[in-house]
Amino acid sequence: MVTFAAMHLSTPAECLDNWFSNDVAFHELYPAVISQLARRHWTPLRVARKAAAFLRTGKEDRVLDIGSGVGKFCLAAAHAEPTVQFTGVELRPWLVEHARIAQQKLGLKNVRFLAANIKDVCFKQFDHFYFYNSFYENLAESEKIDQEMPCSLELFERYSYYLYKQLANRPAGTRLVTYHSLETEIPADFHLVQTEINGYLKYWIKV
Ligand SMILES: C[S@@+](CC[C@H](N)C(=O)[O-])C[C@H]1O[C@@H](n2cnc3c(N)ncnc32)[C@H](O)[C@@H]1O
């Protein structure tokens, strides 16, 4: 006879934690077409956790992920840092749809996703920022998410400059994490305070 005590019943918290146990488990939240894009386009879980810890200062932090894709950074960060409010803004509506479905499955409340171009987002609503080289797709010829994004140096420069100007207007103390960034979008008053993951992950604070 199997007793009640002998049966392993997962608590809701344990079920939630299972999704974040490794990248393969997390990608089960999405259809195969999305997980196939992960290696090139979505932040690894351990990177998201490290970035989220740096972006939490303990002052009701509001963090914007600039180009949030299917929400992997925001969801992993929101799970790791429940006191921080994460917002993802993403140009492609079909990716935002996947992000919202994944969020519903996880039941995370401290995250939301906006379908918009970054150039239409007011940065004043946010304290700190995460950027995984979102505009590089405008330069890349291969491994694109879909064929919708035009290959255009002019667009790359326009978006990068918009981000540069927004960051330049943020107050001292603003934190930024970049992953695989070309750094053309980072104003000189953002000081590099730490690097990890072979120099691909960088932590910045504005002085
Ligand atoms: C490298 S992916 C990173 C996704 C997510 N931040 C993560 O780490 O899991 C960059 C995303 O930025 C989006 N993107 C590119 N240009 C954008 C723009 N101008 N406004 C909003 N999103 C943009 C792309 O569609 C893509 O989903």
pLDDT tens, position by position, 130-168: 999 999 999 987 888 998 888 899 999 999 999 999 999
Q: Is the pLDDT of residue 183 over 90?
A: yes
Ligand 1, residues at Cβ distance < 6 Å: 41-43, 65, 67-69, 72-73, 89-92, 95, 117-118, 132-135, 137, 145, 159
Q: What is the pLDDT of residues 75-95, one digit of tens each?
A: 999 999 999 999 999 999 999
Q: Is the pLDDT of residue 126 over 60?
A: yes
Please check whether residue 196 lies inside any domain of the structure: yes
CATH number at residue 22: 3.40.50.150
Instruction: Work out how many domains the chain is built from and give that number.
Output: 1
Please check whether residue 115 lies inside any domain of the structure: yes
Long-range contacts of 192-199 (CB under 8 A, 24+ apart): 194/54, 196/50, 197/47
Residue type, 85: Q
CA 9/CA 80 separation, integer angstroms: 23
What range does the domain containing 90 cover? Answer: 12-206
CA 32/CA 65 separation, integer angstroms: 23
Q: Which of 133, 131, 92 is nearest to 113 (CA)?
A: 92
Q: Is the pLDDT of residue 3 over 60?
A: no
Tell how far the Cα of 149 is from the centroid of ligand 1, in angstroms.
11
CA 186/CA 165 separation, integer angstroms: 9
Position in ligand 1 atom list of the atom nearest CA 40: 1
Please check whether residue 113 lies inside any domain of the structure: yes
Please check whether residue 4 lies inside any domain of the structure: no
Whole-number pLDDT of residue 8: 60
Position in ligand 1 atom list of the atom nearest CA 88: 6
Please check whether residue 198 lies inside any domain of the structure: yes
